[in-house]
Amino acid sequence: MIASAVRTLKNFAGGRWESSAGEPRQVTNPSTGEVIAQVPFATPAEVDKTVRAAHEAYLQWREVPVVDRVQVLYRYKALLEKHADEVARILSTENGKTLPDALMEVRRAIQMVEVACGMPTLMMGDSIENVSRGIDSQTIRQPLGVCAGITPFNFPAMVPMWMFPFAIACGNSFILKPSEKVPLTPERTAELLEEAGVPAGVYSVIHGGRETTDALMMHPLVRAVSFVGSSPVAKHVYETSAKAGKRVQALGGAKNHLVVMPDADLEKSVEAIMSSAFGAAGERCLAGSVLVPVGEVAEPLLAKLVAAANALQVGDSLAPGVGMGPLVTGEHRGKVAGYIEKGLAEGAKPLCDGRKSAGESEGFFLGPTIFDGVTPKMTIAREEIFGPVLSVIRVRTLDEAISLVNGSEFGNTTSIFTSDGKSARDYASRVECGMVGVNIGVAAPMAFFPFSGWKNSFFGDLHAHGKDAVAFYTEQKVIMTRWF
Ligand code: NAD
């Protein structure tokens, strides 16, 4: 179904909103299946023009004092606050996460801007007098030039803001290539940045898919590439960008384990596990995907969890009281349903099957699925599903749980639920994951810490946001001075 007045989006390049000659694709409302916009895929010539304009803008912007650069971000924060509900509504409509969840994402995005407002302090270098007799030494941080960001569908407000507020505050210009599945939120947040007074060309948004991304990564005037998305694409972006001589950070997919000890608080753990596994329909890179009950906790834990999953209200993401919205596209829904079939075929035991609670709607709904009797070799135990499917692998000891977690090719996040400090400390110390939660279902770092995936969940060395972002978006220079 196509809504009556479907408009085609424009690119924001060189400070202007311009139509693209690229092939348009459809953007859908996943709650209804309705087409709500068309998004053009920018051509390599349009990418080239955008990068050149961004480079010209950078040459001026880098000369603006950092204290003045951050004034744009202060105004941007105020505008984001003012329009938070409106942005969240757009986000929920195109992505399918519930409205309260979308609003929480917008709040997290605003926190990124707040932290980047501290750039006059964050960008400071070091200095020391008399490194040798009569010689002083200092380091300064300088911007790189044009930086590019390629972002996924699941956080269309927040993930771009892991990047551009920091990059711009450091004196770079920035080009965002958002996910073609959710281009309306990045469009609105770009309009607000324009209203905040960002100079023409300092921030650009170009839409597209692989060809657009490749043209950006290969462009000689692009100095740094930030990517967030699935691991195969993250690896491709990392390799291609590095080969083209770019600085690159590429955050990939995940398979996150939630370990529950026999001494855990069951009520609170179940609440956290439900939100981790089924919040945003499991479409979070920090979503719990494998539940690992240790010892005798399995039976009481699963009884409570299945009851909570059966009570979860699935429906239109904008409707009040809905606990879980649809998956982002019909294609993605089909992929997740395919994993449920695979789980059944490989012998896992469904305690609830989300295909049954999906209803008759045109939307891309799937209810929560919980599989018991999963073994580490099964596909559903190893691969990222990125949907509301939780696999249960029972173990006998904490050591066994740690070996299981460390056997995964991914290392984004993990959580332990326990009331024993020693178990929590051992777990946090020994697991090979970049982010660890203790009695927390989604251990998402705040804006001033780095987003620290390990293994196949991350390619690069400097992570997103926090102090890492400042290092990533600047070059250091050491200056030694002697006066005669
Ligand atoms: P995706 O990899 O399909 O797409 C991400 C971006 O890359 C999009 O902008 C897309 O247009 C572009 N792209 C897709 N294929 C490409 C190709 N072959 N070459 C160049 N560019 C390409 O990811 P998605 O489905 O949008 O998002 C979900 C994935 O993102 C999940 O795997 C999730 O775990 C991951 N993710 C990771 C983090 C993290 O911090 N590690 C955060 C959010 C999402």
Look up residue 478 and give its amino acid.
V
471 and 389 share a domain? Answer: no
Does the annotation mark 285 as catalytic? yes
247 and 260 share a domain? Answer: no
Q: Where are the beta strands (DSSP E) in 182-314?
A: 203-205, 222-228, 247-251, 256-260, 288-293
Other Cβ atoms closer than 10 A to 401: 24
Is residue 393 within 8 A of residue 291, CB to CB? The reply is yes
Q: In this model, does residue 359 exceed pLDDT 80?
A: no
Nearest atom, ligand 1, residue 151 CA: 9
Using one digit for the tens of pLDDT, what is the confidence trace for 266-284?
999 999 999 999 999 999 9
* Residue 266 located in a structural domain: yes
Per the document, the length of the chain is: 484
Using one digit for the tens of pLDDT, what is the confidence trace for 228-248?
999 999 999 999 999 999 999
Angle between helix 298-311 and 266-278 (nearest 10): 50
184 and 284 share a domain? Answer: no
- Paired residues of 140 in beta bridges: 477
Range of the domain at 429: 256-438
Ligand 1 and 384: CB distance under 6 A = yes
231 and 346 share a domain? Answer: no
196 and 329 share a domain? Answer: no
- Paired residues of 228 in beta bridges: 251
Nearest atom, ligand 1, residue 233 CA: 2
471 and 327 share a domain? Answer: no
244 and 260 share a domain? Answer: no
Using one digit for the tens of pLDDT, what is the confidence trace for 370-409?
999 999 999 999 999 999 999 999 999 999 999 999 999 9
Ligand 1 and 437: CB distance under 6 A = no
Pocket test for ligand 1, best of 158, 180, 213, 414 (most atoms within 8 A of CB): 213
Q: Give the count of alpha carbons within 13 A of 289, CB side only.
A: 29
* Residue 117 located in a structural domain: yes
Ligand 1 and 238: CB distance under 6 A = no
* Residue 153 located in a structural domain: yes
342 and 413 share a domain? Answer: yes
Q: Give the count of alpha carbons within 13 A of 384, CB side only.
A: 24
Q: 231 CB contacts (<8 Å, ≥6 apart)? A: 252, 253, 384, 410, 456, 457
Q: How many domains does the chain have?
A: 2
Pocket test for ligand 1, best of 150, 175, 237, 454 (most atoms within 8 A of CB): 150
233 and 248 share a domain? Answer: yes
* Residue 202 located in a structural domain: yes
* Residue 443 located in a structural domain: no
Ligand 1 and 251: CB distance under 6 A = yes
* Residue 450 located in a structural domain: no
Which pLDDT value is given to residue 49? 98
Query: Which pTM does this prediction carry?
Result: 0.97
CATH code, domain with 328: 3.40.309.10
Q: How confident is the model at residue 471 (pLDDT cuts 50, 70, 90)?
A: very high
171 and 300 share a domain? Answer: no
CATH code, domain with 146: 3.40.605.10
228 and 271 share a domain? Answer: no
